[in-house]
Chains A and B, each alone.
Chain A
Amino acid sequence: GAVVSQHPSWVICKSGTSVKIECRSLDFQATTMFWYRQFPKQSLMLMATSNEGSKATYEQGVEKDKFLINHASLTLSTLTVTSAHPEDSSFYICSAPTTGHKETQYFGPGTRLLVL
């Protein structure tokens, strides 16, 4: 079946550096992708909607200059955490809905970010 991949699966970085996370739809095209953040023992919180060929739509309270999203192609969206701080440490998950009569949504396996 359709798969969504994320890279890297985990990353450790120093405070102040930037980290890029990739989300790829492997065998289908996704004009829209979603980025979520999951804190330990908490739910997934939608951060933003990534739109191919246009600007991302951010949820209330999410800093767009901090979490840069680029949807460069129909199979790739990237989330860049700029000037990362320890409070940005979290589990980031992307998802991509399919279209058509078998509409569904596939989630990536997630990227664990630890900022020291």
Chain B
Amino acid sequence: AQSVTQPDIHITVSEGASLELRCNYSYGATPYLFWYVQSPGQGLQLLLKYFSGDTLVQGIKGFEAEFKRSQSSFNLRKPSVHWSDAAEYFCAVGPKGYQKVTFGTGTKLQVIP
């Protein structure tokens, strides 16, 4: 069975500081991995995805994530956080494409001035 663990429920960072959100997954085959952001009143927005190829994936809004098969991880990073990045972030794993995606429990990011 596929599963996703986001060990950090809540993270607070200062504006301008770097950010890393952790994600570990369990999947029996080659995983397709996603990071989504959810802002209040808005739908989930895809930040980036990894299907194959280069293990360092660039996404929108300056985010990147690195797939590490040996660690079963897909951590999300941003070198300098902006106040507008405050939101909830979900890591997800699934088979090819977007079918049967399993989401982690999310990490709520708070950005302080």
Residues of B within 8 A of A45 (CB): 103
B105 touches A42 (CB 8 A): yes
A46 touches B43 (CB 8 A): no
A4 touches B106 (CB 8 A): no
Chain A residues packing against B (C-beta within 8 Å): 4, 9, 32, 41-46, 49, 93, 95, 97, 103-110
Within 8 A of A (CB), among B64-113: 90, 97-106
B97 touches A103 (CB 8 A): yes
A97 touches B97 (CB 8 A): yes
Residues of B within 8 A of A103 (CB): 97-98
CB within 8 A of B46: which of A9, A32, A105, A110?
A: A105
Interface class of chain B by DSSP: loop
A-B contact count (CB 8 A): 48
A4 touches B90 (CB 8 A): no
Residues of B within 8 A of A106 (CB): 43
Residues of A within 8 A of B4 (CB): 43
- Expressed in whole angstroms, the minimum distance between the Cβ of A114 and any Cβ of chain B is 16
A-B contacts, 17 of them at CB < 8 A, read: A41-B9, A41-B106, A42-B105, A43-B103, A44-B44, A46-B100, A46-B102, A49-B99, A49-B100, A93-B44, A97-B99, A103-B98, A104-B46, A107-B43, A107-B44, A109-B41, A109-B43
Give bound CA distance, A43 to B104, whole Å. 6
B101 touches A46 (CB 8 A): yes
A93/B43 contact (C-beta < 8 A), A43-B104, A44-B103 known: yes
